[in-house]
Amino acid sequence: MATNPTPSAERMLSLLRRMEKMPLRAPMVDAVDLTLPQAFLLLWVGRNPGCSVNEIAEGMDVTPPTVSVAVRKLVDDGWLRREPDPNDRRVQHIHLTAQADQLMGEMHAQRRKMIGQFLNGLTVDEQEQLLGLLEQAVSKFEDKLQHIN
């Protein structure tokens, strides 16, 4: 039996939809001819250097064949490089190239700038209150999810 969302839940959903349209989370990739999924894959590899295709697939919740195709294209385009595992020839470790590492730095800087502009509409006290409440809500929800799984 589905329950009706509370006014607060509806308000949160509305805010999330509005925020999805803002360039806060999405990296700026138009200039380098990357798709958004490719950019997210690069970001994932940047946070998990030396990962395998299977680890990427699990972490991004996509199939290994999908990741294999994407990795192959990004290797061919010079964004990723593969290193064979010395202990298991079937496994290749995926790393960013210097070009991709530089792009990731630029993307992170752009995201920090956009988040800063987003928060600048609030006073320092309001920023602290907003961030404190978000941290509290995220932590409590993570705890609930751990008990469900």
Q: What is the chain's pLDDT, residue by residue, as a tens digit (149 residues)? A: 456 778 898 998 898 888 888 876 555 666 678 888 898 899 999 999 999 999 999 999 999 999 999 999 999 999 999 999 899 888 899 999 999 999 888 888 888 888 999 999 999 999 999 999 999 999 999 999 888 86
Measured at the alpha carbon of residue 122, what is the angle toward residues 119 and 123, in degrees to the nearest 5?
Answer: 120
Domains in the chain, start-ordered, CATH in brackets?
30-148 (1.10.10.10)
Who contacts 5 (Cβ-Cβ below 8 Å, separation ≥6)? 13
Place of tokens 């920090």: 112
